[in-house]
């Protein structure tokens, strides 16, 4: 059961325009979400996160929006740059917050290509 879904395997955007990457989830107990960026043959790097008590979090060119009623989050990149071309994964921690580390459930990723 894939609890975090990224239904668009790829997205192409012109440089300077907005990139919008989408993620849907099924588990209403998820209380935190993370976005990771991954280049080929490298490990993912953390990009931005959002707690379920918020509906927006912004960091420079990157903004994540959370719509809890729709169980949907999106990552906006404005303006898009060629260096943003990578695979983007959304992820959510499983279980409840406690003294132990929590596992992450990842979506299948979206390949973003920013065209010069």
Partner 1 sequence: DGGITQSPKYLFRKEGQNVTLSCEQNLNHDAMYWYRQDPGQGLRLIYYSQIVNDFQKGDIAEGYSVSREKKESFPLTVTSAQKNPTAFYLCATTQGRGLEQYFGPGTRLTVT
Binding-site ranges for partner 1 (CB under 8 A): 4, 6, 9, 32, 34, 36, 41-46, 49, 89, 93, 97-104, 106-109
Instruction: Indicate the residue among 41 and 53 with the shorter CB distance to partner 1.
Output: 41
Smallest gap from residue 1 Cβ to partner 1 (A): 10
Nearer residue to partner 1 within complex by CB, 38 or 79:
38
Bin 62: left if φ > 0, else alpha if -120 < ψ < 50, else beta. beta
- Smallest separation (angstroms) from partner 1 to the CB of 65: 19
Where does residue 7 rank: exposed (0-12), middle (13-18), buried (19+ CB within 10 A)?
exposed
Shortest separation between residue 100's beta carbon and partner 1, angstroms = 5
**With respect to partner 1, which residue has the nearer C-beta, 69 or 98?**
98
Beta strands in the chain (DSSP E): 4-5, 10-14, 19-25, 32-38, 45-51, 56-59, 62-67, 72-77, 86-93, 104-106, 110-115
Q: Which is nearer to partner 1, 43 or 83 (CB)?
A: 43
Minimum CB separation of residue 83 from partner 1 in Å reads 18
């Amino acid at each position: 059961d894939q609890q975090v879904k990224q239904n668009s395997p790829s997205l192409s955007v012109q440089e300077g325009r907005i990139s919008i990457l989408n993620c849907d989830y099924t588990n209403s107990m998820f209380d935190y979400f993370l976005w990771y960026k991954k280049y080929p043959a490298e490990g993912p790097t953390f990009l931005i996160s959002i707690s379920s008590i918020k509906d927006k979090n912004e960091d420079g060119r990157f903004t994540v929006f959370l719509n809890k009623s729709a169980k949907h989050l999106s990552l906006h990149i404005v303006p898009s740059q060629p260096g943003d071309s990578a695979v983007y994964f959304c992820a959510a921690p499983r279980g409840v917050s406690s003294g132990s580390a929590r596992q992450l459930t990842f979506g299948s990723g979206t390949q973003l290509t920013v065209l010069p």
